[in-house]
Structures are given as structure tokens and as C-alpha cells.
Amino acid sequence: MAKLPLPKEEYLYRGHAACPGCGAPLAMRYTMKALGPRVIMNVPAGCTPVIGGVWPRTAFKFDMMDHAFESTGAVSSGIRAALDAKGIEDATVLGWAGDGGTVDIGLQALSGAVDRGTDFIYVMMDNEAYMNTGIQCSGSTPIGAWTTTTPLGKKCEIILQRKKKIMEMMVANGIVYGATVNVAYPEDFVKRVRKATEYEGPKFIHALSPCAPGWRVDTAKTVEVARLATQTNMFPLYEVQGNEYRLTKTIKERKPVSEYLKTQGRFRRISEDMAIKIQAMVDEEYEELLRKVEQSKG
């Protein structure tokens, strides 16, 4: 596959306040490279406001507003309505929230915005826990992962839940385009976000982005670990147009999930039995995805 040349423009100044090895600035750089400068980004509580630095400085070279935790979908609808009222047609409204701000506390407003048919792109920056408050379990934390609220002691049943299937919820809700992307695949990332701009209506991008301190990985391994998530089918890359599914990354030699799990301290305490269960779950979910892809072809 010919590689997509990434635009040279950068919309993040040097000196942002992300932790070493953070995936979020990568995700933001790729997103902005895809969208260009006529963007209004809105962001709730989370790591991103901190990454931008404190007033009067900002790391962001685009218009951006911070707001309350639950509000990303609603603020996006408001911005779009005002742009329409003002006759500004060529600007992209970008809602940018973490996994907690999306699958948990922000779900209602996001669902409302999709229901209203708001013309915007929503990027869920998924680092699989509440990382800004210090690694607490969110609805997007994977099964078996240690967090400070799922301490994996003797009674580890509290973490025996799967990640919420946010893409499925959004597809059912009525998005016009959805895609999973991964900071380990920048060309694909840019391509998917750019593709989202071709549609009018609500678009949902689910971006996997490791958190080195939260995942308990070496800060130099962010991209490596993120890539393993896709290579093991823990986080397959696909897109949905309407309800037609298409794989955007085919993994020729799928690696065992255990290879992904052992790279991260957060999975350190799970048993072999649990690892086998997770493998079975990942296989089952991947089969389900393939079925949808096949059905879409038919």
C-alpha cells in the first residue's frame, strides 16, 4: 500500500504539557493534520486541557474552548448552530473527549448530538481509564486491567466487564461515518479523519491512545504497545459508513493476545485462566466484526 504523505503543518506548539510517552499529542497532531486550521475544537475535563498548558499560554494553534465534563456533544451542537446562523460554512466542529468523558459522563450529550444530526466530528481519545485523575476505571477500561478503582486484589470480580461497545452504540444511534484509529498507524489515522470530513452529519472517531503511566509501560514503548493492540485484534481497525462495515487494516499474522497483555504492568496480575478467557473474548468479537464486514459486502 502506498503511504499517504502526511501534511507538514503542525498545529501543536512545542512545549505542551503531556507526560512523556503520551499518545494524546500524537492523536491530536494527526487529527489536526487531517482537518487543517479552520477547526473549532471543544474539550471537556480530562488530560487535554492540561496538555494545552495553563493561561496565558496555549499549546494549541487552533481555536479551542474548554467546557464542563458532560457537555461535549451539546457544546458541539451549539457551535454548529451558531456557525450556521453566522453563515460560516467551511469550518469543522470537533468535539474531543476522553473515554470517561465519552462512554460514561458525556454519553447523554453525545447521544443527543448524534440524534440531532449535528454536523461534527467527535474524537474519543481512548486511553482506557480516567487518566487525568490518576488511573481510575472507566466504562472503556478493558477486562482484566488494573486501575486504582479495580485494584485486582482477592475479589477481582469488579473488573470482569468488557469495554462498552461505543462504536456499536453510535452506529445504532445514527452516525453517518465511524472509524477506529490507532496512534500507531498515522497514515491510516489521517486518512480516516479526512474521510470523516466528506460526510455531513455526526461522525465518530474512536482513537486508541496509550497512557504510559496508566498502562504501566515504558514511555518509549507507546507506539509499539498501541500497534500490538491492533496486531492482536484487541483493537481492530475498521470503518462504518451508515451500517456498512469495512476493515481498514488487515492483520496477516495475528499475534496472541498474551503478547499484548505482557507488555503492560496493568495486566500483570491476571491469571492464565483469565488470559485465555480474554483471548476467547477477543476472538469472538473479531468474528462478529468479520461477519458484519461480510454482510456489508453481500
Partner 1 sequence: MIEIITSNYAAAYAAKLSRVEVIAAYPITPQTSISEKLAELVDTGEMDAKYIKVESEHSAMAAVIGASYVGARTFTATSSQGLALMHENLIWAAGVNRPIVMPVAARALSGPWTIWSDHSDVISERDAGWMQFFCENNQETLDMTIMAYKIAEDREIMTPAMVIEDGFILSHTVEAVDMPSQEEVDDFLPPFDPEFKIDFKSEPRRYAGVLAPDWWQEHRYRRMLDMEHSKEKIVEVERDFERRFGRSYGGLVEFYRCDDADVALVIAGAPTGTAKDVVDEMRDRGKKVGLVKLRSFRPFPGEELVKLNDMVSMVGVFDKSYTMGQGGAFFQEIRNALYSPDGVPIKNYIGGLGGRDVTKKNIELIFEDLLSLSKKGKVDRIIDWVALKGGPRRWE
- Give the residue with the Cβ less far from partner 1, 172 or 276: 172
From 84-92, 127-135, 154-162, 180-188, give the range in contact with partner 1 by CB under 8 A.
Answer: 84-92
Cβ atoms of 135 and 148 within 8 Å: the answer is yes
Which member of 6, 19, 36, 111 binds partner 1 (CB under 8 A)? 111
Question: Is the torsion defined by CA of 72, 215, 138, 46 positive or negative?
Answer: negative
- State which of residues 9, 10, 20, 115 lies at the interface with partner 1 (CB under 8 A): 115
Q: Least distance in Å: CB of 84 to partner 1? A: 6
Q: Are 145 and 129 within 8 A, CB to CB? A: yes
Shortest distance (Å) from residue 76 CB to partner 1: 7
Query: Is residue 201 near partner 1 by the rule CB under 8 A?
Result: no
Rule CB under 8 A: say whether 109 interacts with partner 1.
yes
C-beta closer to partner 1: residue 100 or 210: 100
The answer to whether 78 contacts partner 1 (rule: CB under 8 A) is: yes
Contacts of 244 by beta carbon, 8 Å cutoff, 6+ apart: 296
For partner 1, which stretch binds (CB under 8 A), given 20-28, 33-41, 165-173, 222-230?
33-41
**Of the two residues 12 and 237, which places its CB atom closer to partner 1 in the complex?**
12
- Between CA 116 and CA 123, with CA 117 as vertex, the angle to 5 degrees is 105
* Burial track 129-149 (b if 16+ CB lie within 10 A, e otherwise): bbbbeebbbbbbbbbbbbbee
By CB under 8 A, is residue 133 in contact with partner 1? Answer: no
Position 64 contacts partner 1 (CB under 8 A):
yes
User: What would the grid cell of residue 169 be?
Assistant: 452504540
CB under 8 A: which stretch of 67-75, 219-227, 267-275, 286-294 binds partner 1?
A: 67-75
Q: How far is the CB of 284 from partner 1 (least distance, A)?
A: 33
Residue 75 interacting with partner 1 (CB under 8 A): yes
Q: What 3-state DSSP class applies to 12?
A: strand
Cα–Cα nearest to 208, from 238, 247, 188, 180: 180
- Compare residues 68 and 223 and give the one whose CB is closer to partner 1: 68
Cβ atoms 110, 102 nearer than 8 A: yes
Q: How far is the CB of 104 from partner 1 (least distance, A)?
A: 15
Instruction: Give one DSSP letter per residue of 180-209, joined into a string.
Output: EEETT-HHHHHHHHHHHTTSSSEEEEEEE-
User: Cβ(94)–Cβ(73) under 8 Å?
Assistant: no
Q: Is 37 in the site for partner 1 (CB under 8 A)?
A: yes
CB 222 within 8 A of CB 23: yes
Residue 73 vs 98, nearer CB to partner 1: 73
User: What DSSP character marks residue 253?
Assistant: S
Binding-residue pattern over the window 42 to 61 for partner 1, x denoting contact by CB under 8 A: x------xx-xxxx--x-xx
CB nearer to partner 1: pick between 62 and 260: 62
* Number of chain residues interacting with partner 1 (CB under 8 A): 43
- Where residue 117 falls (left for φ over 0; alpha for ψ -120 to 50; beta otherwise) is left
Site residues, partner 1 (CB under 8 A): 37-38, 40, 42, 49-50, 52-55, 58, 60-68, 70-71, 73-79, 81-86, 88, 91, 108-109, 111-112, 115-116
